[in-house]
Amino acid sequence: MHVSWNDAVAYCEWAGRRLPTEAEWERASRGGREGNVYPWGNELMTDSGAWQCNIWQGTFPRVNTVDDGWLTTAPVETFSPNDFGLWQTVGNVWEWCSDWYSPRYYERSPRENPRGPDTGSARVLRGGSYLCHDSYCNRYRNSARSSNTPDSSMGNAGFRTVAL
């Protein structure tokens, strides 16, 4: 995909939409299941051993066994949606949020609907990607955060939009 934060914002302006704030993204990803590790619950795999998101399986970074069926990005409706009907909010691709990134922001942010710092050098990414592995980054959790500069594009990044 190779989309930067700047690209995502340009698309939003064209489409009359916007990127979600980091708080909106997390609430949407949780799908109403507050306190759960993943959108579907607390276990990475189903009781029958099936993957519930597109991440790296095998020995990172040498061997991806592709147990979930996907070496890179998976089609949007590959795994079950969360309880809000949103598909693949974790795994598959990192998702850009509107907020500036600060690693310690939540230590001093408002408890209700935090909007992120006023300035910064990097933007928030949420959700992890197909390159995440539990031995390496484990960022495909509802609460996990990352960041990158607004002009950086990655093949494992994307975005979703919300109405104005």
Q: What whole-number distance in Å separates Cα of residue 162 and Cα of residue 18?
A: 6
Short-list 60, 1, 112, CA closest to 140: 60
Give the C-alpha separation, 148 to 154, whole Å: 10
Instruction: Please report which residue ranges of 16-151 form alpha helices under DSSP H.
Output: 22-30
20-53 as b/e, with b when 16 or more CB fall inside 10 Å? bbbbbbbbbbbbebeebbbbbeeebeeeeeebbb
Q: Give me the pLDDT at residue 137, please.
A: 82
Which amino acid is residue 60, in one-letter code?
F
pLDDT at 99: 98
Topology adopted by domain 1-42+51-106+120-164: paralog of FGE (formylglycine-generating enzyme) (3.90.1580)
**What integer pLDDT is reported at residue 145 of this predicted model?**
94
- pLDDT tens, per residue, the chain with 164 residues: 689 999 999 999 999 999 999 999 999 999 999 999 999 999 999 999 999 999 999 999 999 999 999 999 999 999 999 999 999 999 999 999 999 999 999 889 988 889 999 999 999 999 999 999 988 788 899 999 999 999 999 999 999 999 99
Task: Quote the pLDDT of residue 10.
Answer: 98
Q: What is the pLDDT of residue 77?
A: 95
Question: Phi and psi for 38 in degrees, rounded to 5?
Answer: -120, 165
* pLDDT given at position 136: 79
